Each structure stands twice: as structure tokens, then as C-alpha cells.
Structure 1
Amino acid sequence: MPLEHLHEQAHPRQPKRSFVQYRLDRPGFITPIGHHLSTALRYTCLIRSISSAGAVLSINRTLTLPENFYLEIQGIRDGIPCTEFKRDGDEMVVRFNMFLDADFLKVVLGRPADLQDA
């Protein structure tokens, strides 16, 4: 067996991450991480666009948030840990604390996730 085939078997292929911002315009919720990791409050937002690395949100410009929080996308059960990157008026750019899985991003975008890579 040639070495290149052995190398391919030892390292399974990971789906490519998309750092392209996809237009989403979907409601979401921001849950601040408080003292002792409490999550008592929840604020609404509009998720304008999303990628594997982060998102652009429309929020109330008077809302004061901690640097770290969870972002929940309406219709998706799991919260995504985020860090505020930049804020200008009612627009906030956030980075996800870990890259989103390509299949999860497809679900968020309303596209069917591949059951198995060919």
C-alpha cells in the first residue's frame, strides 16, 4: 500500500469551514454570562449575517453587555458562546469562541446537511 493512501486513512477529512458571511436576517437571543456563569437575562437581537467564525447582529444601541455571552438562533436549541469584537451604534460584530461545524452552519442557513462526504 503506497504511503499517500496510508496518510489519507490516518487523517480523516474535515469539512471545509466557511468564513464567508451568509445573509441570515433571523431573530436571535443574547444571554449575558453573569457572575458565577449565571444566565438570568435574555435580550432579543436580529442576526444579520453569519459565518463559521462569527456573526453581525442588530441590537438595541443602549444595551450594555459583558464582553462574553451566548447567542441563540431562533429555532436552534443550542447557544453559541461569543465574544464582542466590534460595536457601532446598533450593529455588533461577534466572534464565536469556537468555529461552527460546517453541518451546523448548513442547518442554521436552512440547507440540508450532508449525511456523508463522498
Structure 2
Amino acid sequence: MPLDHMHEQLHLRHPKRSFVQYRLDRPGFITPIGHHLSTALRYTCLIRSISSAGAVLSINKTLTLPENFYLEIHGIRDEIPCTEYKRDGEELVVRFNMFLDVDFLNMVLGRQGETHDA
């Protein structure tokens, strides 16, 4: 999986945190961060998988994005600040600029009330 290498590096720096990658296949939106932090454009994507540290997205391979942008998961109004980690054609691997809270990740995964170490 594309996030494995990134997760190995993060696990070495944060040994008490879990970086389990969950299959999501849910639509989302990418909002590029422009000049003076403007966010005028918004692009659709498919969030293939997600963890507390990052995600794998499917996007239009001709789309040019800045290194930093916001990711919004369809149905959840919170925007997640992201940085591009790796891109190969339509597959974009991003890391989140801060780890997702375990409760937020469970809400994204539709697992309300479950508690897991993350």
C-alpha cells in the first residue's frame, strides 16, 4: 500500500500512535490554497483510504495542485489541511498537517461510539 512507507516513518517518531489505513471509497473535495490563502477553486476526488496520518486519493491526472491544500470529506464540513506526499497518475498520497483525532476518524468511517487507540 502507498501509505505503508509514510506510516513506518511516522511510527518511528510516534511509537504510541496507530497508523492503520482504512478503506473508505468516499467522495471528497480538494480546495487548493492560493495566493494570500484564498480558496476560490474546489475539485472533486475519491478518497480511497484514510488513516490518522494521511489518505490516498483518486484525482484527475491532468489536475495541477499546489503542494498544500484542504481536503473535505463529503458530508463532513471540516476541512483537513494536507500536503502532497507522492503522486502517480490518478493516485495522490497525502499526509495530514496534523493527526486526525480518533473520534473524528471513527465518525468518518461511520463507527460512532467505538474507541480505538490512534
| TM bracket, shorter-chain basis | 0.7 to 0.9
Q: In the TM superposition, what whole-angstrom CA distance separates every residue of 1:93-114 from its partner, at most 9, and x where no partner exists?
A: 0000000000000000000135
- Offset of residue 18 of structure 1: 3.4
Distance 1:91 1:114 in 2: 30
- Which 4+ stretches in 1 moved above 4 angstroms? none
Are the equivalent residues in 2 in contact too, given 1:71–1:80 (CA < 8 A)? yes
- CA shift for structure 1 position 71: 0.1
Map residues 1-118 of structure 1 onto 2, 5 A cutoff.
Answer: 17-114=17-114
SS at match of 1:60: coil
5+ residue gaps in structure 1?
Answer: 1-15
Deviations 1:54-100 (A, max 9, x none): 00000000000000000000010100000000000000000000000
RMSD of aligned alpha carbons: 1.3
Equivalences, count: 100
Whether the 8 Å contact between 1:29 and 1:44 is mirrored in structure 2 is: yes
TM-score relative to the length of structure 1: 0.81
What SS does the aligned partner of 1:44 have?
A: strand
Q: Which runs of 5+ in 2 are unaligned?
A: 1-15
Give the drift of 1:17.
4.4
Contact preservation (8 Å) 1:32, 1:68 = yes
Distance 1:17 1:105, change over 3 A: farther
Distance 1:54 1:30 in 2: 14
